[in-house]
Amino acid sequence: MTVYRLTTPISEDETRKLKVNDEIYITGTMVTARDQAHKRALELHAENKKLPLDLEGLAVFHCGPIVKKHGDKWRIVAAGPTTSTRMDIFEGDFIKNFKVRVIIGKGGMGQRTTEAMQRYGAVYGAFTGGAAVLAAKAIDEVRAVEWFDLGMPEALWILGAKEFGPLTVAIDSHGNNLFEDVRDRAEENRKAIYRKLGIR
Amino acid sequence: MDIESLTEKVGYDLLRLAVTELPRDVKEALQKAHREETSEAGKTQLKAILENIQLAERTHTPMCQDTGTIIFYIRAGAEVGRLEKVENALIEATRRATVEVPLRPNAVDPFVGKNTGDNTGRNIPFVNWEIVPGNSLEITVLPKGGGSENVCMLGMLVPGEGLQGLKKFVVDAVMKAGAKPCPPNILGVAVGGGADVALKLAKKALLRPIDQHNSDPEISELERELLEAANLTGIGPMGLGGRFTVLGVNVDYAARHPASYPAAVAFNCWAARRATARILENGEVEHITHRNR
Ligand code: SF4
């Protein structure tokens, strides 16, 4: 396991160095996106329209934050990760079209996303579920918010991150998927556990 | 003593303490897991959890964005008067905590989908009552997160399979839950009584400190066995692999109907929040799980 501190924009080469189990911290620009934001971004792309910002080399965070306005400045109250599997249907195209390098969330993602990460050079960083205080601490500014019409949790929040982590690289760009490995191994262990408990 | 205002104050303090600081037994179990975890990814996740709970404690901020559904457990002395005021006081405490701590509003009307905005609604906060001898009022709050609630299981097992059926049921529940309930988890397991009783006892079992042994040696052995079995799955912290999938298993039971074998598993996540205090006859408040900061 190696610890990496990455600064956005992150290059494809840097991304390719990362292996499952590595621990990473991200500094720079991080964008929140859930189902609706993924959908809109892909629709705009299909119509040859531009996104509010260039996502190449950035980190995308599966998160519906609680954000409060103090005067004219937004401040993050809580920003824990949401379950990533819901974004599986969008993520492959998202990675391909926008060249984001790090997808952050919890619970892992499936085959399609793993393949896209391998082909285009991106990784999945698992952030501890529920660790909202740690997340909020590493987000030092809200730079902008786009697509606010989608609602606070679904909007595209453009955040300034400082050493955001620790993230465990759970899917790397070489086709490895730690969540799937763990699930497969647990399945293999099931029989031995039954035997140990005297279950026939 | 003025039970209404005291209960409201204690209810509020307990909510604030519960969501910002874990009880000692859970903290120690997480620290031990971090020391002994051999998987790299698992260790990283436990480090993040420990840092997160320290920060939450220091800054008086909820340790997880999901501050849960609010459930109270009351042990009321039979000699305490005006007990009919207690539930209202706890509703007020919940409203105040929602604004002041703050808690995330988590009470939604199941039919129209509207969030009440203050964590109260029909039957919520839910208050469980137990009448005991004496003249003190013990209040426990269990703010129960949604992710771990969604994997709770009830099984009406085959009586003929007995204890083996129960063990299989628990292992299967842990395997099925996987990364979803934010492991490492605490399990409350109960058998017997009927469907409702089994689930109620399983959830209530989450209140027992995980470093306390069951007073019944056979059940204590079952708890140890289930803990070991759950951890042999290798699911690990946040489902990223490792030795610590479950931190503790607490078992309870009731007598069962000859033809039924109800079994229930209640999950709590690493953010296993609970807080207890006792209001004494003279109005003094004794905090049991936390130092009142
Ligand atoms: S399962 Fe627990 S730790 Fe995870 S998000 Fe829900 S309440 Fe928080």
pLDDT tens for chain A, 200 residues long, are 999 999 999 999 999 999 999 999 999 999 999 999 999 999 999 999 999 999 999 999 999 888 888 899 999 988 889 999 999 999 999 999 999 999 999 999 999 999 999 999 999 999 999 999 999 999 999 999 999 999 888 999 999 999 999 999 999 999 999 999 999 999 999 999 999 999 98
Can you give the three-state secondary structure of B186-227, one letter per residue? EEEEEECCCHHHHHHHHHHHCCCCCCCCCCCHHHHHHHHHHH
Residues A90 and A116: their CA atoms lie apart, in Å, by: 11
Distance spanning both ends of chain A, measured CA to CA: 39
Residues A148 and A156: their CA atoms lie apart, in Å, by: 7
The burial class, CB within 10 Å (0-12 / 13-18 / 19+), for A193 is: buried
Task: Calculate the CA B26 to chain-centre distance.
Answer: 11
- Residue A85: closest CA among chain B residues belongs to which residue? B180
Residues B103, B15 contacting (CB under 8 angstroms): yes
- Looking at residue A68, its pLDDT comes to 86
Q: How confident is the model at residue B213 (pLDDT cuts 50, 70, 90)?
A: confident
A182 CB within 8 Å of a chain B CB: yes
All domains of chain B in start order, with CATH: 3-22+63-145+273-287 (3.30.1330), 147-268 (no CATH)
Helices (H), chain B: 3-20, 24-36, 40-59, 86-100, 146-149, 162-177, 195-205, 217-232
Tokens of B282: 């003279």
3-state secondary structure of A159: strand
Contacts of A200 in chain B (CB under 8 A): 164
Residues in contact with ligand 1 by the CB-under-6-Å rule are: A 129-130; B 64, 66, 145-148, 181-182, 269-271
Q: How confident is the model at residue B248 (pLDDT cuts 50, 70, 90)?
A: very high
All domains of chain A in start order, with CATH: 3-197 (3.20.130.10)
Nearest to A182 among B55, B56, B236 (CB): B236
Residues B290, B21 contacting (CB under 8 angstroms): yes
What ipTM score was computed for the predicted complex, to two decimals?
0.91
In terms of Cα–Cα distance, which of B83, B82, B52, B21 is closest to B291? Answer: B21
Residues A128, A134 contacting (CB under 8 angstroms): yes
Task: Calculate the CA B93 to chain-centre distance.
Answer: 19
Q: How confident is the model at residue B293 (pLDDT cuts 50, 70, 90)?
A: confident
Determine whether A38 is an active site residue.
Answer: yes
Residues B231 and A16: their CA atoms lie apart, in Å, by: 33
Question: Is the pLDDT assigned to residue B1 strictly greater than 80?
Answer: no
Q: Quick one: which H or E segment has residue A2?
A: none
Residues A150, A40 contacting (CB under 8 angstroms): yes
Question: Is the pLDDT assigned to residue B287 strictly greater than 90?
Answer: yes
Hey, how many other C-beta atoms are within 10 angstroms of the C-beta on B277? Answer: 22
